[in-house]
Amino acid sequence: MADVTRKDLVHALNSAADLLDVLGSDAGGFRATAYRSAARSLDRHEASLDELRESRFAGVPKVGRGIAAELMDYLDTGRFAPLDEAAEGVPEGVQGLFAVRGLGPKKVRTLWDAGIDSVTRLRDAAQSGELAAIKGFGAKGAQTLGQAAQFVLDAQDRFLLPQALQAGEAVQQALAGAGLEATFSGELGRLRDTLGGAELVLSGDPDAWAGALAGAAGWEVREQGADTLSGRFGGVPLTLRRGEAGVGFLPFDEPEHAGLDLPDPAALIQVQDIQGMLHTHSVWSDGTATLREMVAGVRDLGHAYLGTGDHSQAAAYAGGLTPARLREYIAEIRGLQAEGLPILAGAEVDILADGSLDYPDELLAELDYVVASVHSGFGLSAADQTARLVRAASHPLVSILGHPTGRLLLRREGYALDIDAVLEACAASGTAAEINANPWRLDLRWQDALRWRGRVRFSINTDAHSVAGLRDIRYGVMMARKAGLTPADVVNCLDMAAFKAWARPEVSGR
């Protein structure tokens, strides 16, 4: 049986619909509509994947007998036949256009008809003016698409930090088994937020390295030179280079660090300095664990307390809480507190288009702390977006500004924004700027944190949606170290009582 998730099913249905729409026959259009509504229905359906399999999708609205049979095949074989069939009719380069933000089936078809059949072609057509001349695009649209295409091209062959780090650590371990000590270098030695691969230095000769790695699962040799050995580990390009091992990670080795007066690396924040795991999600919104399980997860990792952070009502797609549900949520948390569990009541409250918040002040005041985040309206002008975030950061009941730039590494750029004006507002109002530790985000960027260190306080948060997600804290701490932060700069290094007093000075009288 193939390892297919519900998300995979929904994705396969939608992708098949997209390709059928690109192919665009009448019959295809009808099927595309059917697949799309099946995807929407399946996404919302309550039953677990096991129950769906058991019942062969009976009772799922919009999933008729034909689609149910195709989905059952997918569960058994790991292939969704309608998607494979449609994909045969659409060149791979054209399929790649779906990765560009702002392109749906209709526009992809128009581009394909105009001979623009790959992301590279799209970027070039945007630059040459060819794209702007195609009906339905225009100069502004062509410019935006050109940038989005360039973003996709830049992201190709790049990896997130955990992928490169895991490859580097696995190879390090295999080498250590043969008595070889290897140290991260290059982009990995600098813990870049995205990397082209992993590089390690060590002494000895490539024959010995190759021998030590010969049996390691996931390792493929590509090339052996006089001083180098390169290959791939778990898909990540990896190079071993002869050199001086033992220097280790260099926190201050980027151009941005030049000439700055930085703390002694021994004073920099470490994972064990984080006491409060703030901005976390639970089954109350789109997380997978109960509040009790999240508290246990936090304690198992050696941290002191959990700060909840489920979504507010505007994030309906993520099960955001209505005011009534928020009150029930707070009541459950107060109950857990009464049992002696180390938990604080917080919420991740949406920042609305005008910079106001998704709950009235009297409701926000019932929480122990508030994270305010943008989840919509990414297309605002830089001036409007900045004003919106400044207003939210200046709200007296906002404790932390969540993932301030909205970037998703290798997927999308952050929204247009004057980040310095926003951090200025954080400094003025005493709001902490989040360093979101999710490896897709790492937002705030460490470069901005470095520039504002000493003027703004920060909060390093996992934004975990599961117990396992709490482990992402290490990536946030890595970025904070690059930013030169010490525990004194980070509000969740405070113990629970001190954090509460910091977040709600009007309550504690400070």
Which residues contact Zn ion (rule: CB under 5 A)? 348, 373, 463
* Three-class SS of 435-451: EECCCCCCECCHHHHHH
Q: Are 177 and 200 in contact (CB under 8 A)?
A: no
Q: Which is nearer to Zn ion, 193 or 310 (CB)?
A: 310
* Partners of 344 in beta bridges: 307
Q: Residue 17 has which token pair? A: 């619909």
Nearest one of 354, 490, 486 to 435, comparing CA atoms: 490
CB of 400 to Zn ion, least distance (A): 11
Nearest one of 469, 293, 277 to 369, comparing CA atoms: 277
Q: Which is nearer to Zn ion, 193 or 348 (CB)?
A: 348
Q: Residue 393 has which token pair? A: 């950061």
Rg value, the chain, Cα: 25
CB of 370 to Zn ion, least distance (A): 13
CB of 230 to Zn ion, least distance (A): 38
Question: Residue 366, Cα to own-chain centre: how many angstroms?
Answer: 29
Q: Which is nearer to Zn ion, 116 or 372 (CB)?
A: 372
* Partners of 87 in beta bridges: none
CB of 493 to Zn ion, least distance (A): 20
CB of 84 to Zn ion, least distance (A): 35
CB of 403 to Zn ion, least distance (A): 6
CB of 371 to Zn ion, least distance (A): 7
Q: Which is nearer to Zn ion, 117 or 310 (CB)?
A: 310
Give the E-state strand segments of 102-227 in sequence order: 159-160, 183-185, 194-195, 198-202, 219-224
Give the integer Cα–Cα distance in Å for 280 and 288: 11
Q: Name residues whose C-beta falls within 8 Å of residue 277's C-beta, 6 or more positions apart in sequence.
A: 294, 298, 301, 303, 305, 306, 307, 461, 462, 464, 470, 473, 492
Phi, psi of 186, deg, nearest 5? 60, -140
Q: Which is nearer to Zn ion, 199 or 463 (CB)?
A: 463
Q: Which is nearer to Zn ion, 200 or 460 (CB)?
A: 460
Q: Which is nearer to Zn ion, 245 or 400 (CB)?
A: 400
